[in-house]
Amino acid sequence: MSPGRDRLTKVWDANGAMTRELPAFGDIATEVAFTHDAARVVAGDWLGEVRLSNVADGAQVAKLAANPPTLEMLVQAQTATVQATAAAAEKAAAELAAAQAVVVEKTKANQAAAEAAAAAKASLQTLLAEKAALDQAQSAQASAGK
C-alpha cells in the first residue's frame, strides 16, 4: 500500500500489482497503514483527514478524528452534562413539589365542596320532610273542616 501525491491511496499485492485504489483525498495522501488483520486501511492526507476503509471493496468505514479530544476535555464535557442533568432534575423536583401542593389544595377544596354538598342535601331532606308534614297537616285540617 502507498499514499501518493495524486491524493490516492493504493493497495498492492506481493507481486507489485495494484489490487485496490481508494477514493482520493482533498490533498496529498501522506500516511497509510493496515489494521492488525489486514482487512482495513487507515490513511491520511496533508490536511489532517483520516479515513478507515475496507481493503476488500474500498468502501470508507469511518472518518477518524486527527486531533481527538483530550481526556481532560472529555471529563469536562461529561461534568457539564452531569451538572445540566442535575439542574434539570432539581427543576423537575421543584415543579413536582409545586404540582403536589396544587393537588393537595384541590383535594381540600373538593373535600370542602363535598361536605358542603352533603350539608345542603341534609338541609334539603329536612325541608322536604317539613313540607311533607305541613302538607299532611293541611290535608288533615281540610278533611276535619268538611
pLDDT tens figures, 57-92: 999 999 988 788 899 999 999 999 999 999 999 999
So what's the pLDDT on residue 143? 85
Contacts made by residues 47-53, CB under 8 angstroms, sequence distance 24+:
49/25, 51/22, 51/25, 53/9, 53/22, 53/23
So what's the pLDDT on residue 53? 95
So what's the pLDDT on residue 146? 65
Domain membership of residue 45 as a residue range: 2-64
Is residue 93 domain-resident?
Answer: yes
89 in the same domain as 46: no
* CATH code at position 39: 2.40.10
Is residue 144 domain-resident?
Answer: no
110 in the same domain as 83: yes
Is residue 137 domain-resident?
Answer: no
Total domain count for the chain? 2
All residue ranges of the chain with pLDDT < 50 are: none
Is residue 139 domain-resident?
Answer: no
